[in-house]
Amino acid sequence: MRSQIQARSTDPAAGVRRWAMLGMICFAGVLPAEAQVGLPEPGPPYIELNSLALPALLPMPAAPAQQDRIDAAVRQDRLPDALGLLLDLAAEPDDTDSRIAVQTNLGHLYQRLGEPQTAIGHYQQALDLIAAGGNGARDPRQLPVYYGIGVVEYGRGRYQPAQEALGQAFFTARSSYGLKSETQLPALRGLAETSLALGQYEQAQAHARAQLSIVQQSQGPASDDALETAEQVGDFLGRTGQYWQQRLVLRDKLKLIRARYGADDWRQVETLQALARSYRAAYEPETYGLADLELADEIARKHPERFSAVDLARLKRELGDYYMTFRSPKRANQLYGHAWALLEEAGRPELQTSWFGSAQPLFVPRPAPRDGVGELPAAGLPEGYVSFRFNVTPQGRVSVPEAEDIVPAEAADMRLRSERALREARFRPRVTASGAEFTRDVLYRMRFRYLPETPGDAGGESDS
């Protein structure tokens, strides 16, 4: 949601409300292929987590001049200077509200400086001051404190404490400001990410959908913020594998854009691209996905003031990826050629290299943990990988794959299943000014979940 600069208020509750509106989570699209070209180190499986945004500093009504200097230092990324000014200020205020704001802001700054334990200590001092006031669990001044604690714990990979702190922030926002208040949004977004990290997928999806409901009720379903939130929630549902629900959200968003702005409005392009990616991520060769991309390309070409040559090249590349995955390698390579030419026109050789300098995976099916079983839920199953070396043809197909190693060794029976899956994969071939080319010696690490010999081995590490 767009940050809005507002005049500073001396009302502490107003400061909390403004802080909550500024809290954001950065969303990014994630394709489903686990392995990557080359041999990356084994990483976390399948679902990529987003970062939680750092909270904004609270207003300190008793010291507006000092706060202006602190805010300026933070904006200029002079965090040690901002910390020094804030520490000087910590000894000055006598009123409780200002002391709470100072301790909360010290927590925020130490968090930015990479000192999480010190940040937690200042957050706890703020909570102690709030508790001494006797206002109970619904005191709105707790909201940014608990959110700050949640972000610290999330950043340290301590997802259960993060979830508990963010849950307290959510409860405080809801009980203090009402069921429809947007002060709940940062905590809800954080709860969605922590639930995802803990494998609580249904709970994560519920938190994501609740964000959209709140913004639509408070601002209207066709407001700019509601449309942007719909895009973010759709992306989140896609990351959790709920592609059908993702597409429902995005289709509703398209209807609202067309009703408000017209059938050819440029705002549709990003959503149409997201819809097509959803079909491709789920490996559903629906004509809708292709039609969405072609419509996005058509609309973008009608609005040259909004879309650069690079934007158009990206659309051509995505269309090419769709054709390569589902339809016609010949048509895909024509589209890749258009994208290459547009990048040449834009003077962007670095994008030519990153997009087309090597063969890149578009779709790689996951091998089944056991013949005849199909894909099983990832939870509880150990992870391994096979490293392959192979060629990629100009048609995006894998040629002569050879397994170089398998980890762990006891999952050796997964080599053949992985190879069968790899032969069904689709790659974007290497492209030059001359067109798509044959690519030799591609290294690729294919990750898999497997069923161990002893069912008990599928659990986590022993406590003993």
374 close to 361: Cβ distance less than 8 angstroms: no
Amino acid, single-letter form, for residue 101:
A
| Domain coordinates in residue numbering, the chain | 1-36+47-241, 361-457
Q: Diameter of the chain by CA atoms?
A: 75
- Looking at the DSSP bridge assignments, the partners of residue 445 are 387
Please tell me which residue, 72 or 37, carries the higher pLDDT value. 72
Lowest mean pLDDT among 22-36, 282-296, 324-338: 22-36
pLDDT at 62 over 70: no
Query: What is the structure's pLDDT at 46?
Result: 35
Query: What is the structure's pLDDT at 59?
Result: 72
For every residue of 60-94, DSSP letters joined together read -TT-HHHHHHHHHHHHTT-HHHHHHHHHHHHTS--
- Looking at the DSSP bridge assignments, the partners of residue 392 are 398, 439
Query: What is the structure's pLDDT at 93?
Result: 60
**Helices H / strands E in the chain, number of each:** 17, 7
Lowest mean pLDDT among 117-121, 230-234, 269-273: 230-234
Lowest mean pLDDT among 14-28, 287-301, 419-433: 14-28
* pTM listed for this prediction: 0.65
The predicted-structure confidence for 185-207, as pLDDT tens digits, reads as follows: 889 989 988 988 888 888 888 88
Query: What is the structure's pLDDT at 49?
Result: 55
Which of 24-28, 49-53, 136-140, 340-344 shows the highest mean pLDDT? 340-344
Q: Report the alpha-carbon angle 52-57-61, nearest 5.
A: 155
In percent, the amount of the chain with pLDDT more than 70 equals 80
Radius of gyration for the alpha carbons in the chain, expressed in angstroms and rounded: 25
Please tell me which residue, 305 or 97, carries the higher pLDDT value. 305
The pLDDT mean for the chain works out to 80
Query: For residue 437, how many other CB atoms are within 10 A of its CB?
Result: 16
Query: What is the structure's pLDDT at 229?
Result: 84
pLDDT at 37 over 60: no
DSSP 300: H
For every residue of 438-463, DSSP letters joined together read -EEEEEEEEEEE---SSGGGGS----
pLDDT at 55 over 80: no
Q: Say whether domain 361-457 belongs to CATH 3.30.2420.10.
A: yes
Region 419-433: mean pLDDT is: 94
Query: What is the structure's pLDDT at 222?
Result: 81
Regarding the domain delimited by 1-36+47-241, which CATH topology (the fold level of the hierarchy) does it fall under?
1.25.40
CA separation for the pair 246, 235 (Å, rounded): 7
95 close to 62: Cβ distance less than 8 angstroms: yes
Query: What is the structure's pLDDT at 92?
Result: 65
In percent, the amount of the chain with pLDDT more than 90 equals 39
Q: How many residues are recorded in the chain?
A: 464
Q: Report the alpha-carbon angle 419-239-190, nearest 5.
A: 140
